[in-house]
């Protein structure tokens, strides 16, 4: 067979595997894989530096399928290239990542060919996609990380980090706001290691894009300062390859390749119809498509001889050679720069360097205290000095979030200074969270920051951090009504409970400066979980830890801070963040009245839920049923801790615009109110 024939055979294998898998599953999107098979084939087999034998080798090119509904493209490629599986500890399992059997069981339980690409479930998937726009936004984080890594670790003759990041996207990704936010920042940052390929098929689920999407995409991206290329025929491998070559020669800007395609290419009746979406083609159409590809009409899941061999000789050989070169280079590098090499090793395994927590501050008791955000700022500055690859920034609120890294040499990450540790995401919270995911996928320890209320703007990407099990960090300040005069638009109410509802996300709302330190100490040791910090804007008293229990209790999610002498508690007061001060004051007042109350500081539901039952019952003894929770946020969910005989002092409506003191009075967050509620519950009014 000629090379052209082999190319076509491989492309049609991708197409027919996709068709058969969707047909068998009776769900999925066959049309886009049929159209994009030539693109993916060209990119993978001719360009991509990816070694299927080691899908996590640090020098590899990254491939992101942002139109995740076309997942069969990826499952076909991972199977046909014999990509190997690795586990969560980054060990090679010596077996394929995706098998033909998985593809036969596309979208079925436990199959390694699920509905959408899932990082951490299938090796070789660089990021989870499906929610449109997330993949391309995340790819910007990968390209940023590559620049940063190159700046710190590349040395003359040692281009360790010089890979490219490719993302395929459709109309949906380019319609979504997060895609625009990310594209704007990528243009500003001149990310010339980034290439998006836009499947310009003029169709989405409801029909032609003429009903919704008539902007000039090329002009938009030119305005973002991208290089824009066009390939008028999605079946022309040479032109695809040429465009990718132009990308690789382009400096100072990212590249968008607009690829004109026909969804469902080869299926004569469903071409250009929305029916190529979200449903199988049907038996007749499958036959017609296979006939058009010169395929045996009745064959299913057919992988003709020579196809896997074509991939072995293409991406397999090239990837293996590239990795071998890289490993030799890295071995020499290790001799010359042993400390930097150790950093790279540690980073790859998400380990922390020795001494990562040295010099963490310890705050003295102080009734005036300091704001959560200020304590956080001090901690971030220490951590960033101890951990070279700990970095991040804010969505234009760095001075309010106190996330600025101020030590000598910290610097700003900008086009001319890719080694900077301070990132400026601009007012693009959603893209920020997706970019932080991309940085984390590239093994940097990255954080993003904004006001807590705007966590809503970032939420879809935070959810993906949790789904992907990435140790990202979100620093959210102005955690409750401390925002005061800014009013209800800026005062979080439902954000805490909404983030607590995300599985695997560690949400922490520390009560004083020492709890902030302990919260970061806990978070930094996470390797597979993201964390959210909810920090106060206003100063919070620093508790006297000789009098109250040590803040180290943060590591257990909740802990007893104070008890009354003379017997078991009559009532348990529970709070997080700024309201811990409130219940401590109430506790002291109750003590003076001869009431035995217990103070429980509960910075994290999630961490507490993971403690053994014995510990949980130690903190919240089942026999003590009179319980009062106080939190300046939606009361929803607290029932689980106060029980049906308990009470919650929370927010039942939005806040208001006024100085904080007046808001505390209006909404009842004052020590007297807590004392009165406790006495009433105990029948001692
Ligand atoms: C955020 C988000 N909204 C909606 C969907 C549901 N959805 C899946 S595919 C699709 C159409 C996508 O159109 P396009 O990106 O042009 O891809 P094509 O149909 O051309 O493959 C939609 C709306 C989604 N996956 N993510
Ligand atoms: Mg489309």
Ligand 1, residue 32: give the atom nearest the CA. Answer: 21
Q: In the chain, how long is the greatest CA-to-CA distance?
A: 93
Q: Does 357 map to a domain? A: no
Q: Per the annotation, where are the binding residues for Mg(2+)? A: 171, 201, 203
Kindly state whether residues 486 and 510 are assigned to the same domain.
Answer: yes
Q: Which of 541, 566, 587 is the last residue of a domain?
A: 541
Assign residue 40 the CATH number of its domain: 3.40.50.970
Count of CB atoms situated within 10 Å of the CB of 268: 12
Residue 414 domain-assigned (yes or no): yes
The answer to whether residues 506 and 640 belong to one domain is: no
Q: Give tens-digit pLDDT for 115-147.
A: 999 999 999 999 999 999 999 999 999 999 999
The answer on 180 and 38 residing in a single domain is: yes
480 has a pLDDT exceeding 70: yes
The residues pairing with 165 across neighbouring beta strands, listed in sequence order, are 62, 194
Closest atom, ligand 1, to C-alpha of 29:
21
Rounded Cα distance between 312 and 575, Å, is 59
pLDDT at 685: 74
pLDDT at 275 over 60: no
Cβ(147) – ligand 1 distance below 6 Å:
no
**For a pLDDT cut of 70, what percent of the chain falls above it?**
99
- Domain boundary pick from 494, 518, 541: 541
Pairing mode, strands 571-575 and 506-508: unpaired
- What's the chain's Rg over C-alpha atoms? 28
* Spatial distance between the Cα atoms of 97 and 101, rounded to a whole number of angstroms: 11
What's the structural domain count of the chain?
3
**Cα dihedral value 320, 326, 328, 329, nearest 10:** 160
> Ligand 1 centre from 457 Cα, in Å?
20
16 Cβ neighbours under 8 A, 6+ residues apart: 290, 293, 295, 299, 302
pLDDT band at 277 (very low <50, low <70, confident <90, very high): low
- What confidence score (pLDDT) does residue 273 get? 55
Would you state the structure tokens that stand for residue 649, as one six-digit string? 């002092």
- 563 in the same domain as 535: no
The whole domain housing 458 covers 366-541
The pLDDT value given to residue 268:
75
- For the residues 547-572, what does the mean pLDDT come to? 97
587 shares a domain with 495: no
Q: Which of 132, 135, 138 has most ligand 1 atoms within 8 Å of CB, for mutation?
A: 132
pLDDT above 90: residue 266: no
In this model, does residue 24 exceed pLDDT 70?
Answer: yes
Catalogue the active-site residues. 429
What tokens were used for 93? 């399992």
The pLDDT of residue 280 is 81
- Protein residue whose Cα sits closest to atom 8 of ligand 1: 69
* Cβ–ligand 1 contact at 270 (below 6 Å): no
Q: Are 35 and 261 in contact (CB under 8 A)?
A: yes
Q: How many CB atoms lie within 10 A of CB 154?
A: 15
Distance 181 CA to ligand 2 centre (A): 20
353 lies in some domain: no
Ligand 1 atom index nearest CA of 209: 16
Whether 67 is in the pocket of ligand 1, judged by its Cβ within 6 Å, is yes
Q: Token pair for residue 597?
A: 């109350």
Q: Is the CB of 201 under 6 A from ligand 1?
A: yes
DSSP state letter for 412:
B
Instruction: Tell me, yes or no, whether 507 and 578 share the same domain.
Output: no
Residues 301 and 378 reside in one and the same domain: no
Q: What is the mean pLDDT of the chain?
A: 96
For the cut 90, the answer to whether the pLDDT of residue 271 exceeds it is no
Q: 575: pLDDT confidence band, cut at 50, 70 and 90?
A: very high
Q: Residue 272, by phi and psi: left (phi above 0), alpha (psi -120 to 50) or beta? A: left
Asked if residue 262 has its Cβ within 6 Å of ligand 1, the reply is no
Q: What share of the chain is helix, strand, coil (3-state, %, to 5)?
A: 45, 15, 40
Q: What is the CATH number of the domain that holds 597?
A: 3.40.50.920
Ligand 2 centroid to residue 201 C-alpha, Å: 5
Judge whether 469 and 528 are in contact, CB under 8 Å.
yes
What pLDDT was estimated at residue 482? 85
Give the residue-averaged pLDDT of 247-272.
Answer: 88
Compute, in angstroms, the gap from residue 536 CA to the centroid of ligand 1.
39
The answer to whether the Cα torsion of 213, 216, 222, 227 is positive or negative is positive
339 within some domain = no
Contact 245, 257 (CB under 8 A): no
User: d(Cα 244, Cα 235) in Å, to the nearest integer?
Assistant: 15
Q: Does 359 map to a domain?
A: no
Instruction: Calculate how far, in angstroms, residue 32's C-alpha sits from the geometric centre of ligand 1.
Output: 11
**What's this model's pTM, rounded to 2 decimal places?**
0.98
In a domain, 289, yes or no: yes
Could you tell me the distance, in angstroms and rounded to a whole number, from the CA of residue 281 to the centre of ligand 1? 18
Q: Starting from the CA of residue 265, give the closest ligand.
A: 1
Render pLDDT for 329-351 as a digit per residue (tens, 0 to 9): 999 999 999 999 999 999 999 99
32 lines ligand 1 (CB under 6 A): yes
Position in ligand 1 atom list of the atom nearest CA 201: 20
Q: C-alpha angle with apex 559: 553 to 565, nearest 5 degrees? A: 120
Q: Residue 521: inside a domain, yes or no? A: yes
Structure-token pair, residue 203: 């169709």
Cα–Cα nearest to 554, from 505, 611, 503: 611
Cβ(69) – ligand 1 distance below 6 Å: yes
Annotated binding residues for substrate, as ranges? Answer: 29, 277, 373, 400, 478, 486, 490, 537
Q: Which of 595, 589, 592 is nearest to 569 (CA)?
A: 595
Pocket of ligand 1 contains residue 203 by CB under 6 Å: yes
Ligand nearest to the Cα of 67, by number: 1
Q: How confident is the model at residue 290 (pLDDT cuts 50, 70, 90)?
A: very high
Nearest CA to ligand 1 atom 19: 204
532 and 599 in a single domain? The answer is: no
Residues 474 and 583 occupy one common structural domain: no
Domain boundary among 477, 510, 541: 541
- The Cα–Cα gap between 292 and 584 comes to 76
66 CA → ligand 2 middle, Å: 12
Q: Is 361 a member of any domain?
A: no
Q: What is the pLDDT of residues 631-674, one digit of tens each?
A: 999 999 999 999 999 999 999 999 999 999 999 999 999 999 99
Residues 256 and 317 in one domain: yes
What is the dihedral sign for C-alpha 393, 396, 400, 404?
Answer: positive
Q: Which long-range contacts (CB under 8 A, 24 or more apart) does 484-489 make?
A: 484/657, 484/658, 484/659, 484/660, 484/663, 485/657, 485/658, 485/659, 486/657, 487/655, 487/656, 487/657, 487/658, 488/654, 488/655, 488/656, 488/657, 489/453
Nearest CA to ligand 1 atom 16: 171
What's the average model confidence in pLDDT over 173-188?
Answer: 98
Cβ–ligand 1 distance for 116 under 6 Å, the answer no
Q: Are residues 521 and 563 in the same domain?
A: no
What is the residue with the minimal CA distance to atom 25 of ligand 1? Answer: 131
Residues 536 and 561 in one domain: no
Q: Say if CB 251 and CB 192 are below 8 A apart.
A: yes
**In this model, does residue 13 exceed pLDDT 90?**
yes
């Amino acid at each position: 067979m000629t090379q052209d024939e082999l190319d076509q055979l491989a492309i049609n294998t991708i197409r027919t595997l996709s068709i058969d898998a969707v047909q068998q599953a009776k769900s999925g999107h066959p049309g886009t894989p049929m159209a994009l098979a030539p693109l993916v084939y060209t990119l993978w087999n001719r360009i991509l530096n990816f070694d299927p034998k080691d899908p996590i080798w640090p020098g590899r090119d990254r491939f992101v399928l942002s139109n995740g509904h076309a997942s069969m493209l990826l499952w076909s490629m991972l199977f046909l290239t014999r990509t190997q599986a690795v586990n969560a500890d980054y060990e090679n399992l010596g077996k394929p990542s995706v098998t033909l059997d998985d593809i036969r069981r596309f979208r079925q339980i436990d199959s390694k060919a699920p509905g959408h690409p899932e990082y951490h479930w299938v090796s070789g998937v660089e990021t989870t996609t499906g929610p449109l726009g997330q993949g391309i936004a995340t790819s910007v984080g990968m390209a940023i990380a590559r620049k940063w890594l190159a700046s710190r670790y590349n040395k003359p003759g040692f281009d360790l980090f010089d890979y490219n990041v490719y993302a395929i996207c459709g109309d949906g990704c380019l319609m979504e706001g997060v895609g625009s936010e990310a594209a704007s920042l990528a243009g500003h940052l001149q990310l010339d290691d980034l290439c998006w390929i836009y499947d310009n098929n003029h169709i989405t689920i409801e029909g032609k894009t003429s009903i919704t999407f008539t902007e000039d995409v090329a002009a938009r991206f030119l305005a973002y300062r991208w290089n824009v290329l066009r390939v008028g025929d999605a079946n022309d491998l040479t032109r695809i390859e040429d465009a990718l070559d132009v990308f690789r020669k382009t400096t100072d800007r990212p590249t968008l390749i607009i690829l004109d395609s026909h969804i469902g290419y080869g299926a004569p009746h469903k071409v250009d119809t929305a029916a190529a979406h979200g449903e199988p083609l049907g038996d007749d159409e499958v036959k017609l498509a296979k006939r058009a590809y010169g395929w045996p009409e009745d064959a299913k899941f057919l992988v003709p001889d020579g196809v896997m061999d074509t991939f072995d000789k293409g991406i397999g050989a090239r990837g293996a050679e590239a990795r071998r070169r890289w490993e030799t280079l890295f071995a020499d590098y290790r001799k010359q720069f042993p400390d930097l090499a150790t950093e790279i090793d540690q980073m790859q395994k998400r380990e922390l360097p020795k001494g990562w927590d040295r010099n963490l501050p310890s705050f003295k008791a102080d009734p005036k205290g300091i704001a959560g955000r200020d304590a956080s700022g001090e901690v971030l500055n220490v951590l960033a000095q101890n951990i070279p690859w700990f970095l991040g920034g804010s969505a234009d609120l760095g001075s309010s979030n106190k996330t600025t890294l101020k030590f000598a040499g910290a610097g700003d990450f900008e086009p001319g200074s890719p080694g900077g540790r301070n990132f400026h995401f601009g007012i693009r919270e959603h893209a920020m969270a997706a970019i932080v995911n991309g940085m984390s996928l590239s093994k940097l320890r990255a954080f993003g920051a904004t006001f807590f209320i705007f966590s809503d703007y970032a939420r879809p990407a935070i959810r993906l951090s949790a789904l992907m099990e990435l140790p990202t960090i979100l620093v959210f300040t102005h955690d409750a009504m401390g925002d005061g005069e800014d009013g209800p638009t800026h005062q979080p109410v439902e954000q805490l409970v909404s983030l607590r509802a995300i599985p695997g996300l560690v949400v922490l709302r520390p009560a004083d400066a020492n709890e902030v330190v302990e919260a970061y100490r806990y978070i930094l040791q996470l390797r597979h979980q993201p964390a959210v910090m909810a920090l106060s804007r206003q100063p919070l008293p620093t508790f006297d830890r000789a009098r109250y229990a040590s803040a180290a209790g943060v590591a257990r999610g909740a802990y007893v801070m104070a008890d009354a002498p003379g017997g078991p508690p009559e009532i348990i007061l529970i709070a997080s963040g700024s309201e811990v001060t409130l219940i401590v004051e109430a506790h002291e007042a109750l003590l003076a009245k001869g009431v035995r109350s217990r103070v429980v500081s509960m910075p994290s539901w999630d961490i507490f839920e993971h403690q053994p039952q014995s510990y949980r019952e130690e903190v919240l003894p089942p026999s003590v049923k009179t319980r009062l929770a106080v939190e300046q946020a939606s009361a929803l969910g607290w029932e689980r801790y106060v029980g049906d005989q308990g009470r919650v002092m929370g927010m039942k409506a939005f806040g208001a615009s006024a100085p904080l003191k007046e808001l505390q009075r209006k909404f009842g967050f004052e020590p007297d109110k807590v004392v009165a509620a406790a006495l009433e519950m105990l029948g001692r009014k």
